[in-house]
Homo-oligomer: A and B are copies of this chain.
Amino acid sequence: MEFSFPLATHFDPVTGTIEGYPLTARRLSDLQGSFADEQAYQRALGMGDPLVYTVSGFEVPAEEGQLSYALGLIMPGKIGQEYYLTKGHFHAWRPAAEVYIGLAGEGFMLLESEDGSQNQMLPLRPHHAVYVPGHIAHRTVNTGSVPLTYVGVYPAQAGHDYDAIARKNFRHVILELDGKPSMIERSELLR
């Protein structure tokens, strides 16, 4: 069976790599504007520039019916009370859904509708899956003490739109409150 790429892949759970596929690493300095507490962000940056998350993608040509997938790894950590997170994205092709499957560690996904009026915080850990419908912004956070790893599967033509998030961020944040992960409106933090 001849294809232009190998059909079987192996995940390296320590490095977060799909072996043989590119890895994108996001350090704290790459996440300017993502965290709610800007003072805590600057203090943390003053002490170093730790790795926050990696994404390794198996991407195939954007043809109808094809699927791509990515392995994500988020390190444990917080900026202020807010857990380490991914930038988050919409799909450029808005109808594209995504299925996330937790492999190790524990965290949550934050989902928001385009106008921010609807949202959910859903568990992502082993034996759990999260369905992200089309038209929904999604971000992943690690609320545990070890790396959170997961796979996301999406239509090959989905594309990633980070700009909409970069402009106004998510309306909600996931924080440690009273020792446990909680979702609150960002505007509540300013009061």
User: A101 at the A/B interface (Cβ < 8 Å)?
Assistant: yes
Q: Which of B7, B9, B99 contacts A69 (CB 8 A)?
A: B99
Q: What residues of chain B lie closer than 8 Å to A69, measured between beta carbons?
A: 99, 129, 131, 153
**Distance between A131 CB and nearest chain B CB, rounded to angstroms:** 5
Interface flag for A28 (CB, 8 Å): no
Complex CA–CA separation, A63 to B8 (angstroms): 28
- Counting CB contacts under 8 A, is A187 at the interface? no
Mask: chain A, 1-39; 1 = CB below 8 Å from B; 0 = not: 111010111111100001000000000000000000000
Q: Given A129-B58, A132-B7, are A118 and B65 neighbors across the interface (CB < 8 Å)?
A: no
Nearest 6 A/B pairs, CB to CB:
A65-B95, A1-B118, A8-B122, A153-B153, A11-B127, A65-B96
